[in-house]
Amino acid sequence: MPLYKTITVNPTTKVLIWKIEESFETLSEGINLTPPCRQRVDGMKSDLHRRGFMSVRHLMAVEGYVDADLYYDANGKPHLTDGKHISITHSFIFSAIIISDMEVGIDIEMQRPKIIRIAHKFTPIEEYRTLANDDAIMRKLTMVWGAKESLYKSFASPGVSFLQHIYVDDFALEDMASVAIVSYEDKTAQYKVWFLEFEGFTCAYALISEENQR
């Protein structure tokens, strides 16, 4: 079972990462899907997406959950039936979940140079142009994109713009953490964000500040 990494963020928040090395058939063993989820996975054309979908169910099982414990709201945001918060991501050969008593978000991205070409679409230029080389720029932009993606998932309000409504405070690459704010219409939420790099991928996971939970 390739449980790649487990991170205990705090006593009620945990990140679990899976490296997807098994076939879809192997990943399907021991996993009982609800009829809607079975229909969903059977309709996926990409074998990688199907394997990612099933690997997430194995991550849930590590924490004692089955597929029937997961449901989605009208905005497509996942929830757990016991009231805990969950966020889900998968990218190529990695998948991950974060489970917490508080609002959370998670994202995994492959580090790719093309992110430099589209950076202006999701973050102000001054936030990355001061870095020394393209490799550092790519790494930081991937972190910023992952942070914004994780907040977008957590905030879950249609119409939120990465560029206009989600702000990630500037940070040094060696810090591997930042704070971020989502402000949209009459709602504002602040988060703490952490980063993890491994095998050419970046994981960003966010936890809402306690003040926003009151």
Superfamily of domain 110-213: 4'-phosphopantetheinyl transferase domain (3.90.470.20)
CATH topology of domain 3-101: Ribosomal Protein L22; Chain A (3.90.470)
| Residues 146 and 204 sit within 8 Å (Cβ to Cβ) | yes
pLDDT per residue over 146-180, tens digit each? 999 999 999 999 999 999 999 999 999 999 999 99
180: which 2 tokens?
């971020």
Q: Which residues contact 125 (CB under 8 A, 6 or more apart)?
A: 119
Question: Are 3-101 and 110-213 equal in CATH topology?
Answer: yes
- pLDDT recorded at residue 129: 66
Our measurement of the distance from residue 153's CA atom to the centroid of its chain's CA atoms, rounded to an integer in Å, reads 8
CA distances (Å), 192 to each of 6, 103, 108, in order? Answer: 18, 11, 17
pLDDT per residue over 44-64, tens digit each? 999 999 999 999 999 999 999
- pLDDT recorded at residue 12: 96
Entry pTM: 0.94
- pLDDT recorded at residue 132: 66
Q: Is residue 14 over pLDDT 90?
A: yes
| Residues 203 and 146 sit within 8 Å (Cβ to Cβ) | yes
- pLDDT recorded at residue 133: 84
Q: Is residue 214 over pLDDT 60?
A: no
What are the boundaries of each domain within the chain?
A: 3-101, 110-213
Give the residue with greater pLDDT, 163 vs 210: 163
Q: Residue 77 and residue 71: Cα distance in Å, rounded?
A: 8
* CA nearest to 63, candidates 38, 107, 111, 98: 98
Q: Which amino acid appears at position 28 of this protein?
A: S
Q: Which residues contact 197 (CB under 8 A, 6 or more apart)?
A: 111, 139, 176, 203
- Average pLDDT over every residue of 7-31: 96
pLDDT band of residue 17 (cuts 50, 70, 90) is: very high
Give the side-chain half-sphere CA count within 13 A for 173: 15
* CA nearest to 136, candidates 115, 150, 122: 115
User: What residues are paired with 96 via a beta bridge?
Assistant: 17, 89
Q: Is residue 213 over pLDDT 60?
A: no
* CA nearest to 197, candidates 153, 148, 143: 143
Q: Is residue 209 over pLDDT 50?
A: yes
177: which 2 tokens?
């953490």
Instruction: Scan for tokens 């996971």, then name that residue.
Output: 205
pLDDT per residue over 83-142, tens digit each? 999 999 999 999 999 999 999 999 999 999 999 999 989 998 766 666 768 888 999 999
How many Cβ atoms from other residues are within 10 Å of residue 56's Cβ?
25
Q: Is residue 144 over pLDDT 70?
A: yes
